[in-house]
């Protein structure tokens, strides 16, 4: 217990040395509050400025997606290789061990499924997000969807307001409507609208042409979704292109957990995102891990 007598005199005041002022490493978040910056610093590696998020929230609209039938068996072994996990609260509470201690990007909205209209969403309770120790609040924004654009932007706005109140950053997730093209014009508009409405980070898709226009015109970091399963080399190429053109990371799901070597893919993607690996180097990392960790198939050579 501190007392007020007999203490060594304080004398090392660093007179003449200006107090160190560190700029914040993530673009567009310099003026955010301490809690938001602290949480973002757990998600994004302050050395590389980037993140590898593992997304397995698909079930909230798609049911038991291939690779996510038994999250305890397929996803839990991957958690340690990610920088952040993205999932819905039900799966978090029922299957993800609290001891995994990874920052959580919580799917903060819920609503309709792929069987109906999609994107007709409501928000969860901010106190629930705090109870679950969320580091990021993920909300779908359906720009250009005539039925749900307004309601999803209002959801984003409410989430940003609540997040600012409690120091939790918001991830705006651009949803692509059935009649919209995933080109730079659309993605540029959608990501910018998310950022203008206060998202601290935006998740979107990569596009082959002019993606750097999308990242450059968005004032906050962009992470890309992987989309449908591709051959491993193509998925690594996608991650590489996105990073080269200004993305601050990936928030990938199917191209990780539907791979024949999910850990190998995660390690390979990490090499691209954090360590500047080329596609060839990352693919070699994936193949090496896969070959060294082949499960015995029971044939005479494996016995």
Binding footprint of ligand 5RP on the chain (CB under 6 A): 55, 57-58, 86, 140, 173, 225-227, 251-255
Give dist(CA 215, CA 233) in Å, integer: 23
Residues sharing a CB contact under 8 Å with residue 46, sequence separation 6 or more, in sequence order: 25
Q: Which is nearer to ligand 5RP, 37 or 243 (CB)?
A: 243
Q: Which is nearer to ligand 5RP, 37 or 118 (CB)?
A: 118
Q: What is the Cβ-side half-sphere exposure of residue 230, based on CA atoms within 13 angstroms?
A: 13
CA angle 44, 128, 174 (to 5 degrees): 50
Give dist(CA 101, CA 124) in Å, integer: 22
> Which position among 203, 290, 294, 303 bears the catalytic label?
203
Contact (Cβ atoms closer than 8 angstroms) between residue 171 and residue 151: no
102 carries an active-site annotation: no
Rg over alpha carbons for the chain, rounded to the nearest Å, is: 21
Q: Which is nearer to ligand 5RP, 173 or 273 (CB)?
A: 173
Give dist(CA 97, CA 102) in Å, integer: 10
Give dist(CA 249, CA 37) in Å, integer: 17
CB of 256 to ligand 5RP, least distance (A): 7
CB of 233 to ligand 5RP, least distance (A): 16
Give dist(CA 90, CA 273) in Å, integer: 29
Give dist(CA 129, CA 106) in Å, integer: 7
Give dist(CA 24, CA 286) in Å, integer: 33
Give dist(CA 87, CA 138) in Å, integer: 9
Contact (Cβ atoms closer than 8 angstroms) between residue 197 and residue 160: yes
Residues annotated as part of the active site: 203
């Amino acid at each position: 217990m501190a007392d007020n007598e007999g203490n060594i005199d304080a004398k090392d005041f660093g007179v003449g040395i200006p107090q160190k002022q560190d700029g914040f490493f993530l673009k567009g978040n310099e003026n955010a509050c301490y809690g938001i910056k602290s949480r973002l610093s757990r998600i994004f590696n302050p050395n590389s400025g980037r993140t590898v998020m593992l997304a397995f929230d698909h079930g909230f609209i798609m049911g038991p997606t291939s690779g996510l039938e038994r999250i305890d068996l397929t996803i839990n072994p991957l958690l340690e290789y990610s920088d952040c996990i993205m999932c819905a609260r039900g799966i978090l509470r029922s299957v993800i061990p609290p001891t995994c201690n990874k920052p959580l990007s919580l799917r903060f909205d819920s609503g309709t499924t792929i069987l109906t209209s999609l994107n007709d969403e409501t928000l969860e309770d901010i106190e629930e997000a705090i109870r679950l120790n969320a580091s990021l609040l993920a909300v779908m924004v359906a720009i250009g969807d005539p039925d749900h654009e307004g309601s999803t932007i209002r959801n984003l706005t409410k989430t940003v307001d609540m997040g600012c109140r409690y120091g939790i950053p918001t991830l705006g997730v651009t949803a692509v409507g059935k009649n919209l093209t995933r080109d730079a014009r659309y993605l540029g508009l959608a990501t910018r609208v998310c950022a203008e409405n206060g998202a601290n980070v935006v998740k979107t898709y990569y596009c082959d042409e002019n993606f750097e226009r999308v990242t450059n015109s968005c004032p906050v970091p962009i992470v890309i979704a992987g989309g449908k399963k591709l051959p491993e080399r193509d998925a690594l190429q996608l991650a590489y292109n996105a990073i080269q053109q200004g993305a601050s990371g990936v928030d990938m799901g199917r191209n990780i957990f539907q791979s024949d070597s999910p850990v190998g893919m995660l390690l390979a993607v990490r090499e691209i995102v954090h360590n500047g690996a080329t596609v060839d180097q990352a693919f070699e990392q994936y193949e090496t891990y896969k070959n060294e960790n082949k499960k015995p198939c029971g044939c005479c050579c494996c016995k």
